[in-house]
Amino acid sequence: MRQVNFQGARQQPLGSGFNAASTATDVIHGVDLTGRIAIVTGGNAGIGLETTRVLAAAGATVIVPARDTAKAKRNLHGIANVELETMNLVDPASIDAFAERFLASGRPLHLLINNAGIMWVPLRRDPRGIESQLATNYLGQFQLVARLWPALKQAQGARVINVSSFGHQMAPFNFEDPNFQHREYHTLEGYGQSKTASNLFTVALNQRAQAAHVRAYAVHPGSINGTELGREAPLELFQQMGFCDAQGTILPEVAAKLKTIAQGAATTVWCATSPLLDSLGGVYCEDGDVAELDEGQIEHRPDDPSTARGVQPYSLDESSAQRLWTLSEQLTGIAFAAN
């Protein structure tokens, strides 16, 4: 019998024992990944780098596809069990080429962690005319999973982890104008839409993939200090959000509530390795556990990043998830049955 999370049917915390303060090292304690193969996109910086480090330390072979391989080589220096590859998520041909190289190795893929993403960028479009946050944060995920599907099936128990965000609460998916061709562009709306898409993809993938023994999870890492995600954001935006002073320094009271890099990677690693999830998939997770369904009972305070929690029902909706799958096949030109 297939277990699905459409409409949040299984969206309930499990009581894992972990919380916002847990680190990636905490949640993987006692787990042996010897012989396992993992791919971590964006695995050379921020929480992706910590994810790579912790999985490799547990014995996994970790492949890190990166756009800037010189930078990635520097950042990954000294970490054993890591293979560096080339891939640019905004370039469909680059995704295909990377996937073909991996499939040619004949290896199974036990963990695919779609960690790479962008945020707070001006309006840009990829060569297909697709808005860049949608292309990078979601369609790149869809294409990579589709192309690596034979290796995921071969693993007989693979997990796909899509790094989403509380930012999905900023916008549902706009099926009428997903690429901002007929509406004003707001970067946070584009970001929110892309993360809602990632959530919808997760529930649909998990529902379709169970016969192949593949499970999927969406992850909110938390509000994290020290990542590169906001490198293109104007200072005025952070000031308007009450995060920093006139000089651009993060306010101490805000910094105290932000996660560290090690804490930010914890939920990704938990979803990738926890035995509690052996029979559960399609769920949106945060703080080392399955998140609470947000039906209006959660108070979100802009001045307190720790209140950025919960998952919106619209990002788990079955009809939207199936409609997005069809649109994704059209936009990528990939027929992906996932079975």
Annotated active-site residue in 138, 185, 191, 314 = 191
Burial state string for 93-130 with b = 16 or more CB within 10 A and e = fewer than 16? ebbbbbbeebbeeeebbbbbbbbbbbbbbeeeebeeeb
In the DSSP assignment, the letter for residue 131 is B
Size of the chain, expressed as the number of residues it contains: 339
CB 145, CB 334: distance < 8 Å: no
Place of tokens 């209006």: 296
User: 285 pairs with which residues across the strands?
Assistant: 219, 290
Burial class (CB in 10 A: 0-12, 13-18, 19+), 319: exposed
Give me the phi and psi of 121, to 5 degrees please. Answer: -105, 155
In the DSSP assignment, the letter for residue 291 is P
Place of tokens 């905004």: 90
- In whole angstroms, give the CA distance from residue 37 to residue 41: 13
- In whole angstroms, give the CA distance from residue 255 to residue 305: 9
- Contacts by residues 73-80 (CB-CB < 8 Å, ≥ 24 positions apart): 75/44, 75/45, 75/49, 76/43, 76/44, 76/49, 76/52, 79/52, 79/53, 80/56
* 215-220: strand order across its sheet: 82-86, 61-66, 37-40, 111-114, 159-163, 215-220, 284-286, 289-290
> In the annotation, is 217 catalytic?
no
Would you name the residues annotated as active-site residues?
Answer: 191
